[in-house]
């Protein structure tokens, strides 16, 4: 990921600075309102937002004001629910910001106490669902590590312009253990493995179905196959493979 030199310099200056601020705030057990002030300053000084025009505390949803909303080019990019720096983030805190995002049709929701940051993708399709795409502890970040710089850049103003978090999410959706598990359980993969087995042991008598059963029962972890994410991945893979077959049939 190519990060502009100015952004790298800003991150190297501001990340250590706010790590000290957050540690001090946590030791003093500052309240939620003061944590919102710190997070607002982080959005400006770490992530490069204009806190006067791009960060607002006045965004109302169904009569309720969200803690913070980041708005660029006239569009809300993500909503942020802020909890006190010393408070552990909980599921009910997450539900609150996810519900806000769903009502507004906003696809990104962040839950943070300044130290822990959880970035969730919100989808409304019949029902509201959310997936944790990024989670990090700000105090653990090191500006000497390229992966940490890349992580922060996705949430920066310049990263928003490049839609980097959307690209990251799309890549996660296309290449993860659930999708790979669904592909491994495909007939074509089982047939390929059977051919390789036969080449290693020519006299081996094994069917494609037997190979597929071993893959499903003994190779792939149960949660990869049976979890909601696993079942969704299987449906997606079957759908995409069916499209490819139709294309082949049409072209032939």
Give the tens place of pLDDT for each residue, 92-115: 888 888 888 888 888 889 999 999
- pLDDT(26) > 90: yes
Q: Does the pLDDT value for residue 217 go beyond 60?
A: yes
**In this predicted structure, what is the pLDDT of residue 97?**
83
> In terms of Cα–Cα distance, which of 142, 120, 141, 123 is closest to 131?
120
- Give me the pLDDT at residue 58, please: 64
Q: Please, which residues have CB within 8 angstroms of residue 159's CB and are 6 or more apart in sequence?
A: 153, 165
Please give the distance of CA 219 from its chain centroid, rounded to a whole number.
27
**What kind of fold does domain 5-165 have according to CATH?**
tt1808, chain A (3.90.1570)
Interior CA angle at 85 toward 14 and 70, to 5°?
60
Which tens digit of pLDDT belongs to each residue from 54-83? 998 866 555 566 789 999 988 888 899 999
Q: Cα(first)–Cα(last) distance of the chain, in Å?
A: 40
Give pLDDT tens digits for 28-53.
999 999 999 999 999 999 999 998 99
Whole-structure pTM over 0.95, yes or no? no
* pLDDT score, position 12: 96
Buried b (16+ CB within 10 A) or exposed e, 114-147: bbbbbbbbbeeeeeeebeebbebebeebebeeee
Q: How far apart are CA 109 and CA 158, in angstroms?
A: 18
Q: Alpha-carbon distance 121 to 106, whole Å?
A: 9
Q: Dig out the tokens for 51 from the structure.
A: 């806190």
Judged against a pLDDT cut of 90, whether residue 181 lies above it is answered with no
> What's residue 250's pLDDT?
80
**Measured between alpha carbons, how far is 145 from 222 in angstroms, rounded to an integer?**
35
Average pLDDT over residues 204-213: 90
Rg (CA), the chain: 23
Residue 161 has pLDDT above 70, yes or no: yes
Q: How far does CA 80 lie from the centroid of its chain?
A: 15
CATH 3.90.1570.30 residue spans of the chain = 5-165
Contacts of 124 (CB under 8 A, 6+ apart): 102, 105
158 vs 153: CA distance, rounded Å: 7
């Amino acid at each position: 990921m190519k990060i502009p030199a100015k952004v790298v310099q800003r991150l190297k200056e501001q990340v250590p600075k706010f790590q000290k601020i957050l540690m001090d705030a946590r030791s003093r057990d500052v309240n939620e309102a003061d944590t919102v002030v710190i997070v607002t300053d982080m959005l400006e000084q770490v992530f490069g937002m204009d806190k006067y025009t791009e960060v607002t505390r006045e965004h109302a949803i169904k009569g309720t004001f969200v803690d913070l909303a980041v708005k660029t080019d006239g569009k809300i990019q993500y909503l942020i629910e802020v909890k006190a720096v010393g408070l552990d983030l909980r599921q009910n805190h997450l539900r609150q910001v996810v519900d806000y995002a769903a009502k507004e049709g906003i696809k990104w929701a962040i839950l943070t106490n300044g130290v822990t940051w959880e970035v969730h993708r919100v989808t409304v399709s019949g029902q509201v669902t959310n997936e944790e795409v990024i989670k990090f502890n700000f105090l653990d970040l090191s500006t000497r590590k390229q992966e940490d710089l890349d992580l922060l850049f996705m949430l920066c103003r310049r990263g928003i312009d490049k839609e980097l978090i959307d690209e990251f999410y799309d890549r996660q959706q296309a290449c993860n253990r659930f999708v790979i598990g669904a592909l491994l359980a495909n007939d074509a993969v089982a047939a390929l493995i059977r051919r390789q087995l036969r080449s290693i042991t020519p006299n081996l008598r094994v069917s494609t179905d037997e190979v597929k059963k071993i893959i499903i029962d003994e190779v792939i972890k149960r949660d990869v196959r049976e979890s909601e994410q696993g079942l969704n991945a299987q449906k997606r893979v079957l759908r995409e493979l069916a499209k490819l077959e139709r294309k082949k049939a049409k072209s032939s």
